Amino acid sequence: MRHLPLLANHSPGRAAVTCRYRCGDACFHDVPNTSGNPYFGDLLDRRSAIKAGVVLGAALTATGATAAADAAPAHAAPPAEGTGADRHHPARGLDFRPVEPNTLDAVVVPEGYRQAVVIRWGDPLFPDAPAFDFDHQTAAAQARQFGYNCDFAALLPLDPTGRVNLLVTNHEYTGEPFMFRGYDEANPTREQVEVAWAAHGLSVLRVDQDRDGRLTPRFSPHNRRITATTPFELRGPAAGSDLLKTGADPTGTRVLGTLNNCAGGVTPWGTVLSGEENFNQYFAATGDPRETRYGIKDNPTTRKWERFDERFDLAREPNEANRFGWVVELDPLDPDSTPVKHTALGRFKHECANVRIAGDGRVVAYSGDDERFEYIYKFISRKKVRRGDSRSARRHNMTLLDEGTLYVARFTGDSPPAEIDGSGGLPSDGRFDGRGEWVPLASGTRSFVPGMTAEEVYVFTRLAGDRVGATKMDRPEDIQTHPHTGVVYCALSNNVDRGKEGKEGATEPNPRVDNKHGQVLELTERGGDALALSFSWNLMLVCGDPASPDTYFAGYDKSRVSPISSPDNVAFDRHGNLWISSDSGGALGGLNDGLYAVPVAGRERGHLKAFLTVPRGAETCGPVIGERVVTVCVQHPGEVDGASADNPASHWPDGGDSQPRPSVVAVWREGRRIGE
Ligand code: FEO
Ligand code: CA
């Protein structure tokens, strides 16, 4: 067996091999954001702190601010509902006994629930697709099969009963050491590289749901594979810019492929949005500082694609990387449609994009830039949504993300900075909270950023955020709007660099140094208006081991909640409960990741419970919470250091001595709704 290089510096908990293939060692490299823009909360609070200094000291003592703790997690499961001393009633839709934390090589679901794999890496999507053959995989076969490492998933009903659906899935990245026996990272073959191109992208698959919720995949004219070579149209204000032109595309409007598609969203008009995240790792660097700001640093790259297609070598095609890092829109109803890359939403490591309709019909999209010390963005369209599902209304709505104004978030805390000491201990007002504003970056051809043209703002959006003093956050991941209240929820995954020498320390929205476990932010637009340019915010959860004093579960009794680390994707059920999937890489004592549910209102607010856990080495992604079925993507099972196709650490889902296969899993109950 060939051992992978061990990286002493990789993110705690996360396997070095995950860092290498998923994020291009994003955590191993120094953070790309070296800008000196200050935290605005600091600027404001320093002034108030001067006035209130003496009172502050007293308040700190009184509240017993805690030291940062890194205690072992509580392994005991919370008690069952409504039994013995625990007479609390579960929130509506969350009546299940939480799954115990574990390290099993299995998907574990609550008692009384059933589970099945819906589709696995390599399963055919078309009648002519060959059956999966691990030892003889070809690019031609892969292009007709389900891709690797499913992340985001959407389940779109095609009929009023919800029985016929389209499952749309992202395929974030390839893990070549797990896909090919004897893989030689220094000398990949052309076939291996082309398999990887075909294993990236998205899949569209018809799935039929039975009365219980069970999902069955079908061949259908809607079925489709999008790969790293599928043509895309660049649209919006930067399309056609010189910054986007290449030898193969002198128009700057047509790109081959999408890469590192992480989370996404479903638009109100039924299309799917998908965020191109860690695109940096696929391009051989030249050292241009604008590349460096996006983390493009490697030459050669890990996968060596630049040897097989010169567009991945920035010395030959300096603008090719500018054509990735966008929000992609796909119309799954039209298998012949050309997917779009939306330049109006800016270019960064998009985790996702989620759209809501404002009161006047304009649409608003939120998106996080998932890297340590990066920013949260919002886009407001110029045009208004057209109601109805006529062909002309859909066509119009699919242009809404072409024109509008792009903003970045600046947060201010309301507690004195001395109380935000990096420990995670609550300040004296009992909440990590405050206000914020959306700072405009560009609108159409108009730039609001000194020294940058609008085209530059769209293509080098991170630099624009630096210049206007955006707030550096702890890895903004998924962002979703609550379907009933309009409150926006953002998962901030973790940031072990916070507080390190030379890096920004704790701020009220990011209150822990060496933040291994992340937090969940609630953001309320002023007056509940999605178009507002200011907001209030608070942290609903500060994640980790509930037994540790640096955690917070909305004030709920922490002895009754499940441990959770590194919140990643968020979703809502029909009752308005928040569901959170985690991607900790074992940061909580090596425990497997999972899917959790938590009420956001009422007496049970903060009562977080594990609904399922995924196999060893896997992350939980793309939760879809239906009335009768919950689906999750199980990404990179068995991806732990020292493991490979020659030495698999997981045999999920097929068991025996099989290779692990990233898959979509459905969970349901016979004759009962989820959580009821
Ligand atoms: Fe692909 Fe931000 O996780
Ligand atoms: Ca506060």
Dist. CA 540 → ligand 2 center (Å):
12
320-370 pLDDT per residue, tens: 999 999 999 999 999 999 999 999 999 999 999 999 999 999 999 999 999
Residue 36 pLDDT level (bands cut at 50, 70, 90) = confident
**Rounded Cα–Cα distance for residues 121 and 124 (Å):** 9
Whose C-alpha lies nearest to ligand 1, atom 3?
A: 262
**The residue to which tokens 């051992």 are assigned:** 3
Residues composing the chain: 676
Per-residue confidence (pLDDT) for residue 82, from 0 to 100: 37
Domain over 16-78+90-668 is classified CATH 2.120.10.30: yes
Tell me, in angstroms, the distance from the centre of ligand 2 to residue 427's CA.
6
* DSSP, res 40: H
DSSP letter, residue 454: H
CB 4 within 8 A of CB 575: no
For ligand 2, the distance from its centroid to the CA atom of residue 436, given in whole angstroms, is 13
In this structure, the residue with its CA closest to atom 1 of ligand 1 is: 262
Atom from ligand 1 closest to the CA of residue 583:
3
Mean pLDDT of 478-483: 98
Residue 351 CA: which ligand 1 atom is closest?
2
pLDDT tens for 193-211 read 999 999 999 999 999 999 9
* Separation of CA 419 and ligand 1 centre (Å): 31
DSSP letter assigned to residue 77? P
User: Which is the closest atom of ligand 1 to the Cα of 22?
Assistant: 1
Cα 141-165-173 angle, rounded to 5 deg: 40
Q: Is the CB of 370 under 6 A from ligand 1?
A: yes
Where in 64-149 does DSSP place strands (E)?
Answer: 114-120
Average pLDDT score over the chain = 91
Average of pLDDT values for 566-591? 97
Q: Given this model, what pLDDT does residue 29 score? A: 74
What is the structure's pLDDT at 12? Answer: 54
pLDDT digit string (tens) for 245-294?
Answer: 999 999 999 999 999 999 999 999 999 999 999 999 999 999 999 999 99
477 lines ligand 1 (CB under 6 A): yes
Q: Is the confidence at residue 7, as pLDDT, over 60? A: no
The separation between CA 64 and the C-alpha centre of its own chain, rounded to angstroms, equals 35
Cα separation, 192 vs 181, in Å, equals 11
Pairing state between β 519-525 and 534-542: antiparallel
Please report, rounded to a whole number, the percentage of residues in the chain having pLDDT higher than 70. 91
- Ligand 1 atom at minimum distance from 151 CA: 1
- Please give the pLDDT value at position 389: 84
First to last CA, the chain: 49
- Pairwise CA distance, residues 432 & 413, whole Å: 7
Domain residue limits, the chain: 16-78+90-668
Q: Is the pLDDT of residue 62 over 60?
A: no
3-state secondary structure of 430: coil
Q: How far is the CA of 531 from the centre of ligand 1 (A)?
A: 27
Q: List the single range of 42-51, 367-376, 578-587, 666-675 with lowest mean pLDDT.
A: 42-51
Q: Is the pLDDT of residue 8 over 60?
A: no
B/e letters for 113-128, b = 16+ CB within 10 Å, e = fewer, are bebebbbbbbbbbeee
Per cent of the chain over pLDDT 90 is 86
The DSSP letter of residue 598 is E
Distance 261 CA to ligand 1 centre (A): 8
Confidence of residue 487 (pLDDT cuts 50, 70, 90): very high
Residues 6 or more apart in contact with residue 288 via CB below 8 angstroms: 314, 318
pLDDT of residue 573: 98
Cβ–Cβ under 8 Å, residues 326 and 351 = no
Cβ of 262 below 6 Å from ligand 1 = yes
Question: Any alpha helices (H) in 559-610, and if so which ranges?
Answer: none
Whole-angstrom CA distances from 150 to 103, 167, 661 are 21, 11, 10
Phi/psi-derived region of residue 636, left when phi > 0, alpha when psi is between -120 and 50, beta in every other case: left
Confidence at residue 39, expressed as pLDDT on a 0 to 100 scale = 74
Q: Which ligand is nearest to the CA of 538?
A: 2
Q: In this structure, is the dihedral angle defined by the CA atoms of residues 660, 666, 672 and 675, taken in order, positive or negative?
A: positive
* Least confident interval from 16-20, 57-61, 255-259, 270-274: 57-61
The pLDDT of 34-52, averaged and rounded, is 54
Sign of the C-alpha dihedral, residues 670, 604, 66, 521?
A: positive
Taking the model in full, what pTM does it have?
Answer: 0.92
Lowest mean pLDDT among 87-101, 348-362, 660-674: 87-101
586 pLDDT more than 50: yes
Query: CA angle, 463 as apex, 457 and 469 as ends, to 5°?
Result: 105
Residue 10 has which token pair? 């990789």
Q: Which residues of 610-631 are buried (b: 16+ CB within 10 A; e: fewer)?
A: bbbbbbbbbbbbbbbbbebbbb
